[in-house]
Amino acid sequence: MSEQSENHWHVDKRVPIALILTLAVQTLAMGIWVGSINARVDGLEEENRNSQDFQARLIRIETLQETILERLNQ
């Protein structure tokens, strides 16, 4: 083989266009799927942040409730 033909990449004529299109569509679908997963993770992270704020508020309320009950029982 000549030096030039070894360095150049080419698609053989025996590779069907349907295979190339299928790979392209699968790659596109995978990109869309990864994007949707990323959006879901972002939503869950936001929900988790909100939940942590709620938990802190709930702890403060429970502490106040315990203090009020102690004062009422005296």
Give the residue extent of every domain in the chain. Answer: 3-73
Residues in the chain, total: 74
**Average pLDDT per run of 10 along the chain, which is 74 residues long?**
63 84 97 96 90 85 93 89
Specify the pLDDT at position 74. 83
d(CA 40, CA 33): 11
Specify the pLDDT at position 2. 53
Specify the pLDDT at position 5. 55
pTM summary value? 0.51
Residue (of 27, 22, 51, 19) closest to 35 by Cα position? 27
